[in-house]
Copies of this chain bind each other. A is one copy, B any other.
Amino acid sequence: MSALSPLAPAGFPELPAVAGVQLATYEAGLRYKNRADLMLALVDDGTTVAGVFTKSLCPSAPVDWSRSILGNGTARAVVCNSGNANAFTGTAGATSAKLTAETIASAFDIDATEVHLASTGVIGETLPDDRLVEGLQNLATGLAPSSSAAWEAAANAIRTTDTFAKGAAAQVDLDGTAVNVVGIAKGSGMIAPDMATMLGFVFTDAAVSPDLLQTMLTGAATASYNRITVDSDTSTSDSVWLFATGASGAEVITSVDDPRYETLSEAVSAVNLDLAHQIVRDGEGATKFVEITVSGAEHDDAASIIALSIANSPLVKTALAAEDANWGRIVMGVGKAGQKADRDALKIWIGDELVAEHGVAVPGYSEERATEHLKNDEVRINVDVGIATGTATVWTCDLTHGYIEINAGYRS
């Protein structure tokens, strides 16, 4: 494991139990030694489920499996192994995925099509099925109700190059019933829009009909995981689930016009955004958490494309690593995005310092103040492209020697 990211939170947060969720972890030794590499969440009968998956055209076997059963609308379990992505493993991989679902199904007398699957790690290596099945059987015996310690153990079991375990929670009141939303996630490299090598498992004890739950998760993912980038790469395995157990006793939400929908949706979005930010903070080699806001674009999508063009530029990212207020590279990032921008109306702020406007450097702008801002762990870049009112914010990290050290050695 690499050293803890300098941008890591002080510690794993205290997370509440989510009624109707039981957790287990197990050290099966599939790839890693001396740590858990299997995670199981068992959810109550009647739990609804939503999912968003990688847009990769070479998805992993567990993505194929989970996507195929998502239409059921309900689920009973989700299983994750770390260290091996079970991606590009052909029919052997599909067999391992099916076997995983069947083993868990058999342990709890549920249907295999109610068991969602995630795998993360190396691509192109088959899983050792015997050890896998034995591990899963042991995993199934270790269930305990969700609790802060259990969430932390689960978040640790799904890590690969992550330097810290990631969890987040929110609590809301739905007409007098306290409802919890808790999520855990993994991801640090190969992180890019349209999902990343990231897995997210979010649970609530609210009750929500499957279609609404899907709308809620899709919206939350668009505003969180699809707005972060570490290195522009997109994985074969990205998946996020939202499970609603209904075990809080709150009445089921079946319409977006139910005011409780908005309340719960905001909590779900907050938890996913918190997890997404933690993933950026664990960006491989990251030393700066960077927020880039583009305004004045033709529409919000254009703003997002421009912001990601800046965020993905290796030249911008290396300048940030060097605390160099080289806003010329930001101009370059705007110019290459392919979206409408008025060069001569462009404004660029580094922190609160307006460094460029009217197509030139601001006369007398303080490079010192801009540089001072860049010495912080958290930095902000704002760009107005002078066309219309579209806006978007994305988050990224800097590009350092650490990224290369980590990625030049991952398999060894």
Contacts and interface: CB of A to CB of B under 8 A. Distances in A.
Interface of A: 54-59, 85, 87-93, 122-126, 189-190, 192, 231-236, 312-315, 318-319, 321-322, 324, 326-329, 331-341, 343-344, 346, 356, 358-361, 399-401, 403-404, 407-412
Contact of A329 (B55, B123, B318, B322): B123
Contacts of A329: 123, 233
Contacts of A125: 361
A195 to B, nearest CB: 10
Contact of A408 (B234, B322, B344, B409): B322
Nearest to A197: B332
A321 B90 contact: no
A36 to B, nearest CB: 23
B124 A331 contact: yes
Contacts of A319: 407-408
B313 A233 contact: yes
Contacts of A92: 360
A232 B409 CA distance: 23
A190 to B, nearest CB: 6
B314 A88 contact: no
Contacts of A358: 90
27 contacts: A54-B335, A57-B337, A57-B340, A58-B346, A87-B328, A87-B331, A88-B328, A88-B331, A88-B346, A90-B358, A91-B360, A123-B328, A124-B327, A231-B315, A232-B232, A232-B312, A233-B314, A233-B329, A233-B333, A233-B336, A234-B332, A234-B336, A314-B407, A321-B408, A322-B408, A324-B410, A324-B411
Contacts of A339: 57
Contact of A331 (B54, B58, B331, B341): B58
Contacts of A231: 314-315
A356 B87 CA distance: 12
Q: Closest 9 interchain pairs by CB?
A: A123-B328, A58-B335, A56-B335, A322-B408, A90-B360, A234-B336, A90-B359, A318-B407, A124-B328
Contacts of A361: 88, 124-125
Nearest to A406: B318
A404 B318 contact: yes
A364 to B, nearest CB: 14
A288 to B, nearest CB: 12
A407 to B, nearest CB: 4
A319 B334 CA distance: 29
A111 to B, nearest CB: 27
A337 B194 CA distance: 12
